[in-house]
């Protein structure tokens, strides 16, 4: 994140951030263009026109899946012709951010809380919501403090509550801190937790846009996704698409980040489609200690490893998918040449095993099994057939075999590590061990 008073025309997310001064209050935020997008939305556009503007911008979700935001909003019933009964609708911001290696949303909420608040109001106007909730992981204490302060300022200024900006539309927004569970990143598990239930995923359909929070139409969006809305409303869809500078068909800028064995780990707002090489070598200062890059995760722990040969690919959803992984959150994690891939994967699988909600058997029992095998291989106590068991687990816990995407996501780093670095796994197998029976 860089200095304050960047132009809103070029930096829709970080233009209002001054990390030396701290988060802007309402007056300072408005002085750099804050709440102009909200005022334009309410005074010049109908909710449906705001939705159309977001569709035109081709804003794809920044939480990991990359689903087009305008299409998601379009599933919400907006009138009697679409089956809307005139009752409550809700907007929920997924600010749980428990993906290992991901910290972009925290920076936005801590340093630009009014941008988050304005975005929640503008998005709620677009879908006709009456109440909004920012579902925040409990460890984000500074984010909660800054967001609650910004909400109070906006409420006092008439930007929240009754008859917002004289429009006749009533809306209020609240921060809800969760208990800290990775599964709450899945939108229906988040909704269950918000209702006071156990954070287990729900069966879909029905989708939340039809029956979500308390059985009412609900939209769940990620922090970074929402924070693009005011600038899209203010400047238009074509302007937003132009921010990617022709690097990709995906519109806008992206908060890219880097962690792991890099010289300068951090987070930067860059044109969508920036290459990983630029991210690592220019912005993150290259590998620490002059080590060579061995592998990297494109966007959090639940993505497949890629290799140095993939560094020049544009970091966008479709390109990274074709390379055999997922862009996810867009915050890369780099692994150095002297790090063990078995140890790295074992660490990730321990996290996923601990965070399983236990709702379905493959995830509940399969993930701990993978950890036990990886620990044995890591210490040189693996048995012949263990690698084949891990490969089978990647299939049995893959897409379509479990209730939600938790276990399939956990299998992505494991399957790719075996694919690219099988020799490291083989070195952990005891040569003298008796062959283990493996079911085909």
Residues 349, 408: one domain? yes
- Pair 356, 364: CB distance under 8 Å: yes
- The pLDDT of residue 322 is above 90: yes
Instruction: Say if 3 falls within a structural domain.
Output: no
SS3 sequence of 340-389: CHHHHHHHHHHHHHHHCCCCCHHHHHHHHHHHHHHHHHHCCCECCCHHHH
For residues 388 and 406, give the distance between their C-alpha atoms in angstroms, rounded to a whole number. 22
- The pLDDT of residue 16 is above 80: no
Which domain covers residue 380, as residue numbers? 341-426
- The pLDDT of residue 154 is above 90: yes
Residues 165-177, mean pLDDT to the nearest whole number = 95
Token pair listed for 102: 């991901």
If one counts the domains in the chain, the total is 3
Residues 328, 351: one domain? no
CATH of the domain at 87: 3.40.50.11540
Among candidate residues 344, 426, 437, the one with its CA nearest the CA of residue 382: 426
Residues 73, 211: one domain? yes
End position of a domain, from candidates 308, 336, 364 = 336
245 φψ region: left (φ > 0), alpha (ψ -120 to 50), beta (else):
left
Instruction: Say if 199 falls within a structural domain.
Output: yes
250, with CB counted inside 10 A (0-12, 13-18, 19+), is buried
Q: How confident is the model at residue 10 (pLDDT cuts 50, 70, 90)?
A: low
Residues 227, 367: one domain? no
- The pLDDT of residue 3 is above 50: no
Residues 152-156, mean pLDDT to the nearest whole number = 96
* Residue 91, H or E segment: strand 90-95
Share above pLDDT 90 across residues of the chain, in percent, rounded to a whole number: 82
Instruction: Say if 106 falls within a structural domain.
Output: yes
Instruction: Say if 152 falls within a structural domain.
Output: yes
Residues 49, 181: one domain? yes
Q: Identify whether 206 is preceded by a cis peptide bond (ω within 30 of 0).
A: yes
Residues 215, 308: one domain? no
For residues 331 and 300, give the distance between their C-alpha atoms in angstroms, rounded to a whole number. 6
Average pLDDT of the chain is 91
Q: How confident is the model at residue 21 (pLDDT cuts 50, 70, 90)?
A: low
Between 14-23, 105-114, 227-236, the lowest mean confidence (pLDDT) is in 14-23
Residues 314, 231: one domain? no
The DSSP bridge pattern shows strands 253-260 and 266-271 to be antiparallel
Residues 300, 413: one domain? no
Q: What DSSP letter does each residue of 120-160 carry, written as one string?
A: HHHHHHHHT-SEEEEEEETT-HHHHHHHHHHHHHHHHTTSS
CATH of the domain at 392: 1.20.1440.230
The DSSP bridge pattern shows strands 131-137 and 90-95 to be parallel
Q: State whether residue 94 is helix, strand or coil.
A: strand
- The pLDDT of residue 255 is above 70: yes
Half-sphere exposure of 222 (CA within 13 A, CB side): 27
369, with CB counted inside 10 A (0-12, 13-18, 19+), is middle
Token pair listed for 78: 């907006």
Among candidate residues 266, 275, 287, the one with its CA nearest the CA of residue 316: 275
Instruction: Say if 14 falls within a structural domain.
Output: no
Q: State whether residue 18 is helix, strand or coil.
A: coil
Instruction: Say if 8 falls within a structural domain.
Output: no
The DSSP bridge pattern shows strands 172-178 and 131-137 to be parallel
Residues 329-335, mean pLDDT to the nearest whole number = 95
Half-sphere exposure of 317 (CA within 13 A, CB side): 17
Token pair listed for 96: 């749980």
Q: Say what the pLDDT of residue 246 is.
A: 83
Residues 345, 332: one domain? no
- The pLDDT of residue 1 is above 50: no
Token pair listed for 377: 């291989």
End position of a domain, from candidates 283, 303, 336 = 336
- The pLDDT of residue 81 is above 90: no
- The pLDDT of residue 19 is above 80: no
Residues 390, 269: one domain? no
Q: Identify whether 151 is preceded by a cis peptide bond (ω within 30 of 0).
A: no
Q: How confident is the model at residue 130 (pLDDT cuts 50, 70, 90)?
A: very high
Residues 251, 345: one domain? no
CATH of the domain at 324: 3.10.20.600
End position of a domain, from candidates 336, 359, 388 = 336
- The pLDDT of residue 92 is above 50: yes
Instruction: Say if 12 falls within a structural domain.
Output: no
Residues 269, 413: one domain? no
Instruction: Say if 48 falls within a structural domain.
Output: yes
């Amino acid at each position: 994140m860089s200095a304050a008073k960047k132009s809103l025309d070029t930096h829709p997310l970080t233009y209002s951030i001054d990390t030396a001064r701290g988060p802007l209050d309402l007056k300072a935020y408005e002085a750099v263009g804050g709440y102009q997008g909200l005022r334009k939305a309410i005074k010049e556009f109908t909710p449906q026109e705001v939705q159309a503007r977001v569709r035109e911008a081709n804003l794809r979700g920044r939480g990991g899946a990359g689903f087009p935001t305008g299409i998601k909003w379009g599933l919400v019933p907006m009138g009697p012709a679409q089956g809307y009964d005139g009752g409550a609708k809700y907007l929920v911001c997924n600010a749980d951010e428990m993906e290992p290696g991901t910290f972009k949303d925290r920076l936005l909420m801590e340093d630009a809380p009014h941008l988050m608040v304005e975005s929640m109001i503008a998005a709620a106007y677009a879908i006709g919501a009456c109440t909004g909730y920012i579902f925040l992981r409990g460890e984000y204490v500074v984010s909660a403090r800054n967001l609650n302060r910004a909400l109070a300022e906006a409420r006092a200024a008439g930007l929240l509550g009754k008859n917002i900006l004289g429009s006749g539309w009533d809306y209020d927004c609240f921060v809800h801190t969760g208990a800290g569970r990775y599964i709450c990143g899945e939108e229906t598990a988040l909704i269950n937790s918000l209702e006071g239930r156990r954070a287990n995923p729900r069966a879909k359909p029905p989708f939340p846009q039809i029956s979500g929070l308390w059985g009412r139409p609900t939209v769940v969006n990620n922090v970074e996704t929402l924070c693009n809305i005011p600038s899209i409303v203010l400047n238009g869809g074509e302007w937003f698409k132009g921010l990617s500078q022709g690097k990709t068909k995906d519109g806008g800028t992206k908060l890219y980040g880097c962690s792991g064995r890099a010289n300068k780990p951090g987070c930067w707002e860059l044109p969508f489609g920036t290459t990983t090489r630029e991210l690592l070598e220019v912005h993150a200062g290259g590998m620490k200690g002059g080590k060579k890059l061995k592998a990297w995760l494109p966007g959090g722990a639940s993505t497949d490893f890629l290799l140095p040969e993939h560094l020049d690919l544009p970091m966008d959803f479709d390109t990274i998918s074709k390379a055999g992984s997922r862009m996810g959150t867009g915050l890369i994690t780099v692994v150095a040449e002297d790090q063990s891939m078995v140890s790295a994967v074992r660490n990730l699988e321990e996290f996923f095993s601990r965070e399983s909600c236990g709702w379905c058997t493959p995830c509940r029992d399969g993930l701990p099994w993978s950890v036990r095998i990886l620990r044995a291989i890591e210490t040189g106590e693996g048995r012949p057939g263990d690698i084949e068991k891990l490969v089978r687990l990647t299939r049995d816990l893959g897409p379509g075999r479990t209730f939600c995407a938790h276990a399939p996501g956990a299998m992505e780093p494991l399957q790719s590590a075996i694919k690219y670095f099988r020799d490291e796994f083989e070195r952990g197998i005891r040569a003298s061990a008796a062959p283990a029976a493996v079911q085909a």
